[in-house]
Structure formats: structure tokens, C-alpha cells
Amino acid sequence: MSETETNQIKWTLHETHPEMVQPLRASLSEVVDPEIGMNIIQLGLIRDANFEDGVLKLRMILTTPFCPYGPAMVDMTRAKAQEGVGGKPVTIEMGMDVWDFSMMEDPSALDWGMYA
């Protein structure tokens, strides 16, 4: 993988509403995991996004199952997602996937030296 190549997650939204992907990604990029200092898009925490019956449904995971910032991050994610899709309603389903570094969109971020 080159330095500029990323592992962008393909959501259902890419197929059904491609015009909404970039605004949603931009809004969700404002939600930062306070312990790691990276946003939820970079970390790959939004596993899917899809519209069903006029509601944006996000499937999200956390970096650790008992993340102390989890509830605040979920609330902020819901608010930012709503901004990204023009105020439409948003629901968040917490996925059971266990997060690991391979889920990150930008593997070069591992060069921080924090996780050797």
C-alpha cells in the first residue's frame, strides 16, 4: 500500500446514495476519539451507513468494548451524521466487531510510534 492509499470502507450508501457519502464522511470526521486523537472515519469505526425508510442507519463500533468515552462519542456521531445528511433522522446500531488496527483507513497513521 502506498503512503497516499487508504483503506476506505465501502458503505451501502456508496451504492444507494453516492452523493451523500462525502458530506457524511466530512461531518463524521469531526468526531474524534479523545484517547487516540484520531477521528472515527480514520479509525474505521463506522462500519456501514444506509438509508432505510428515510432514516440514516449507522453501524458503529468502538475501539474497546468498554470505552469510557463511548456514550459521548455515539451522541456526537448521531449529531454530526444528522448534519451530514441534511437533518434527516439517524439511528446508530452498535456492532459487535472487535476493532483492530487493520480497520483503520490510513495504515500510515500507525507510524505514530505509540503502538510498536
Spatial separation of the C-alpha atoms in residues 100 and 65, rounded to whole Å: 12
pLDDT along the chain (116 residues), means of 10: 64 96 97 92 96 96 89 97 96 93 76 51
Q: And the C-alpha cell for 8?
A: 476506505
Name the helix (H) or strand (E) containing 38: strand 38-39
What pLDDT, on a 0 to 100 scale, did the predictor assign at position 25? 97
Q: What is the reported pTM?
A: 0.87
Domains contained in the chain, CATH given: 13-105 (3.30.300.130)
